[in-house]
Amino acid sequence: MAKIKIKQIGSPIRRPESQKKILTGLGLGKMNRVVELEDTPEVRGAIAKLPHMVEVID
């Protein structure tokens, strides 16, 4: 399966607990951190819930 790179661009400070948990689940938590994950529907759904905090890097 294809890989996808995700970069955190927003801070989890003053965000709902559910959004913080999604970030942790993606392997993020600090600003400008980049992770490479499998491109699955679950990962795409998590990214869709945090469009203001993460971006997909090509």
Q: What is the pLDDT of residues 9-42, one digit of tens each?
A: 999 999 999 999 999 999 999 999 999 999 999 9
Overall number of domains in the chain: 1
Residue 18 confidence (pLDDT) = 97
Q: Which long-range contacts (CB under 8 A, 24 or more apart) does 37-43 make?
A: 37/3, 37/4, 37/6, 38/1, 38/2, 38/3, 38/4, 39/1, 39/2, 39/3, 39/4, 40/1, 43/4, 43/6
Residue 36 confidence (pLDDT) = 98
Residue 13 confidence (pLDDT) = 95
Domain that holds residue 7: 3-57
Judge whether residue 1 has pLDDT over 90: no
Residue 39 confidence (pLDDT) = 96
Report the CATH number at residue 36.
Answer: 3.30.1390.20
The pTM (predicted TM-score) of the whole model is 0.90
